[in-house]
Structure 1
Amino acid sequence: MIGKYLRERLSWILLVIALQLLLLSVAAIDRTIPFLPMLYIVFLSILLFAAFLLIRYSKETRFHQSLAAWEDTYDLNVIAAPESPFQSIVMDRLNEQTDKFRKETSQLVAQLEEEKDELMSWIHEVKTPLTAMRLMIDRMGDEPLKEQLRLEWLRIHLLLDRQLHQKRIPFIENDLYIEQVKLEPLLINEIRELRAWCLQKGIGFDVNLPVQEVLTDAKWLAFIVRQLLTNAVKYSSASDIVVGSGISPDGQAWLCVRDSGRGIEVKDLPRIFEKGFTSTKNHDDHAATGMGLYLAKKVADSLSIRMSVESTPGVGTTITLYFPRSNTYVHTLGM
């Protein structure tokens, strides 16, 4: 800050130095003016000016230092009071702009909340005819047509479900209930939902759960598992998807989903949890949205679940969820 202060006052410093040099020049030219006393006066003047700069530095830079340290918030109380008319002008403009941005932000938040509520209401309204469609499909006699309709129904259902949970994720802290969740019924329910899709692709499931329970939120864990199973089915063909559980060496319960699909390129692994990222190799895959793993990762982070991915192109992908121990939940969620 001292360097910036000296640059800000550079013109005044140069003016004072020029005036002192002028006095010395006059004393050197005019023999009637003693040079040594004048040199002494110039020396004292420069010392006094340097002391003046040093004293003024702390007072004149207090406002600017607090402004530089000001975080990106609407709280202007952390900024030091202005010490000069120019600083008062800056502070007044900051107050005006902050009030303006605060009002605009409030309006945008209210608008987003209204749009979110409308979308959530629309999704819930669509679920009613969708349920009726499922019942009508189940009563059909044409089995091939029934399976095709079930598959299309499932795709719509999964899209609506993902959209619904995506809108709820920003407020997930208000919707958490941590408990011991039984894995087997949760997995059976999610696999049953994907039955039509799995039958069409000839995919089966090999479920082995030595660890039957994990500490987490049942509803949001079901959402994560749904995204992992959906991805596994989407990118696999005529092979079993393996689902297993266990305990890691450090005592963490884990749940893994392993498929024998096309796998993920090594260069893509660091980016698979980014929003909208699909693949650098299969850009013509219009079925991929790049949202499933992104949303699953966001929910997992909120639940303090660590996600690990191992994949080999052409061999398959394994995604493992590592659940925190109870003391971790007490620390992170304040339970």
Structure 2
Amino acid sequence: MNWKRYMKNLMPAMLINLAGMVALALFLLASGSSIDTVVFIVVIWLLVFVIYMVVSCYGRKRYLDKLLDITDQLEEAYLIADLMKEPERADDEVFYQILKLAEKSMLENISAVMQERRDYRDYIEQWVHEVKTPITAMKLLCENHPSEFSRAILTELEKVDRFTEQTLYYARSEHTQKDYAIREIQLSDVVHGAIADNKYLLRQNDVSIEMEMVTDTVYTDDKWVRFILNQLIGNSIKYRTEKPRLTFYTEQQSNQVLLFIKDNGIGIAEADLPRVFEKGFTGQNGRNIQNSTGIGLYLCKRLCDKLGIGLSLHSGNNGTTAILSFHINHFLVQG
């Protein structure tokens, strides 16, 4: 509370009391009262007024500071009215009712927005599932009629499939707990699955694959991890060199299993590395290639955080290495 402004607001009351003291003093003197009596009465009045002002200001300050502290601790400050005690002062009661009305309006708006988001997410999920049917049908048609043209179509279909998956997982990323199942998985199976998802794209770009000791077992959701690997593989191909190569290997460090996805691509500028997981950030490479959206790595990081998986990128002149860190749960392993 600003004391200077508060005292300024009380200035009319102080001037009225001062005028009352002067008027009373003049009246008593005109009535024949002694100066000592007049001074005594004025001093008592002034003392009572000062004590009242000090106690009133102190109580008011404590009340308002407490409200500010409660508001600062709330994640949704508009709910302050629910934690406030109904005030005793008439003017505070008016502001309390205003806060209640504002809270009600805010909750109604939030409820409407949340419903719109749910409806939009449901529509996106339904659209993705519907569009997957013609994508699968086109894949089957191309695979049943092999040719250079059909292989080119299959490569583009893999890109379309990855983009639709990206859309679906983005829509679900806020509610991963409703769509994952933690179980024991072989990392080699997930890696092979991700490679199979991109086989035509890898073949078209003549990408060589190396698997080095990917034998570890972790507890996670294989579908989500496979999606993350698809995004990382897609990025490696997008920013490839003339003879692209992808290497997968694992290491154990203390209580973690590290899955490395290493490429020999053009790498990431050192200045861009701290921001690669920001939504919409494309960096120098994205500006050069033009078709970068800045969503893939952002979504990978978001999903990893939800699943408790560490994700980091290291880059240099020899390409980029993505590292997925899985925690080893010794209780589950021993059980």
TM-score, structure 1 as length reference = 0.85
1:170 equivalent in structure 2: 174
Aligned residue-pair number? 324
1:124 equivalent in structure 2: 129
C-alpha displacement at 1:53, in angstroms? 2.3
User: 1:316 aligned to 305, 309, 319, which one?
Assistant: 319
Residues 1:82 and 1:290: Cα distance change in structure 2 (over 3 Å): same
- Matching of residue 47 in structure 1 with residue 47 in structure 2: yes
1:184 equivalent in structure 2: 188
C-alpha displacement at 1:50, in angstroms? 3.0
Once residues 263 and 80 of structure 1 are traced to their aligned partners in structure 2, the CA distance between those partners, rounded to angstroms, is 59
- Matching of residue 135 in structure 1 with residue 135 in structure 2: no
* Segment of structure 1 superposing worse, 43-52 or 105-114: 43-52
1:299 equivalent in structure 2: 303
C-alpha displacement at 1:193, in angstroms? 1.5
Once residues 331 and 310 of structure 2 are traced to their aligned partners in structure 1, the CA distance between those partners, rounded to angstroms, is 12
Match for 1:326: what amino acid? N
Once residues 327 and 60 of structure 2 are traced to their aligned partners in structure 1, the CA distance between those partners, rounded to angstroms, is 52
- Matching of residue 99 in structure 1 with residue 113 in structure 2: no
C-alpha displacement at 1:43, in angstroms? 4.8
- Matching of residue 326 in structure 1 with residue 316 in structure 2: no
Residues 1:230 and 1:176: Cα distance change in structure 2 (over 3 Å): same
* Segment of structure 1 superposing worse, 266-275 or 111-120: 111-120
- Matching of residue 226 in structure 1 with residue 230 in structure 2: yes
Match for 1:121: what amino acid? Q
User: 1:87 aligned to 92, 100, 119, which one?
Assistant: 92
Residues 1:291 and 1:328: Cα distance change in structure 2 (over 3 Å): farther
Once residues 328 and 95 of structure 1 are traced to their aligned partners in structure 2, the CA distance between those partners, rounded to angstroms, is 49
* Segment of structure 1 superposing worse, 251-260 or 79-88: 79-88
Once residues 39 and 280 of structure 1 are traced to their aligned partners in structure 2, the CA distance between those partners, rounded to angstroms, is 82
Three-state SS of the structure 2 residue aligned to 1:300 is helix
Match for 1:85: what amino acid? A
1:333 equivalent in structure 2: none
1:151–1:197 CA contact under 8 A, matched in 2: yes
Residues 1:244 and 1:45: Cα distance change in structure 2 (over 3 Å): farther
* Segment of structure 1 superposing worse, 198-207 or 156-165: 198-207
Once residues 50 and 325 of structure 1 are traced to their aligned partners in structure 2, the CA distance between those partners, rounded to angstroms, is 68
Match for 1:216: what amino acid? T
C-alpha displacement at 1:5, in angstroms? 7.3
2:220 equivalent in structure 1: 216
- Matching of residue 11 in structure 1 with residue 11 in structure 2: yes
Once residues 64 and 4 of structure 2 are traced to their aligned partners in structure 1, the CA distance between those partners, rounded to angstroms, is 11
Once residues 268 and 258 of structure 1 are traced to their aligned partners in structure 2, the CA distance between those partners, rounded to angstroms, is 18
Once residues 265 and 50 of structure 1 are traced to their aligned partners in structure 2, the CA distance between those partners, rounded to angstroms, is 68
Once residues 301 and 225 of structure 2 are traced to their aligned partners in structure 1, the CA distance between those partners, rounded to angstroms, is 11
Cα offsets for 1:273-315 (capped at 9, x unmatched): 1111111464242221111111111111111112122112x43
User: 1:257 aligned to 256, 261, 264, which one?
Assistant: 261
Once residues 34 and 47 of structure 1 are traced to their aligned partners in structure 2, the CA distance between those partners, rounded to angstroms, is 20
Three-state SS of the structure 2 residue aligned to 1:323 is strand
2:21–2:45 CA contact under 8 A, matched in 1: no
Cα offsets for 1:53-82 (capped at 9, x unmatched): 232235444653454232325532211322
RMSD: 3.0
1:20–1:42 CA contact under 8 A, matched in 2: no
- Matching of residue 276 in structure 1 with residue 295 in structure 2: no
Once residues 285 and 154 of structure 2 are traced to their aligned partners in structure 1, the CA distance between those partners, rounded to angstroms, is 31
Once residues 63 and 327 of structure 1 are traced to their aligned partners in structure 2, the CA distance between those partners, rounded to angstroms, is 52
Once residues 36 and 320 of structure 2 are traced to their aligned partners in structure 1, the CA distance between those partners, rounded to angstroms, is 88
Once residues 285 and 36 of structure 1 are traced to their aligned partners in structure 2, the CA distance between those partners, rounded to angstroms, is 94
- Matching of residue 201 in structure 1 with residue 205 in structure 2: yes
1:285 equivalent in structure 2: 289
Gaps of 5+ in 1: 330-335
Residues 1:39 and 1:316: Cα distance change in structure 2 (over 3 Å): farther
Cα offsets for 1:241-299 (capped at 9, x unmatched): 11111111x32111111111111112211111111111146424222111111111111
2:57 equivalent in structure 1: 57
Three-state SS of the structure 1 residue aligned to 2:262 is strand
1:211–1:253 CA contact under 8 A, matched in 2: no
Once residues 89 and 280 of structure 1 are traced to their aligned partners in structure 2, the CA distance between those partners, rounded to angstroms, is 56
1:275–1:291 CA contact under 8 A, matched in 2: yes
Once residues 13 and 253 of structure 1 are traced to their aligned partners in structure 2, the CA distance between those partners, rounded to angstroms, is 73
1:145 equivalent in structure 2: 149
Residues 1:229 and 1:47: Cα distance change in structure 2 (over 3 Å): farther
Cα offsets for 1:155-174 (capped at 9, x unmatched): 11001011111111111112
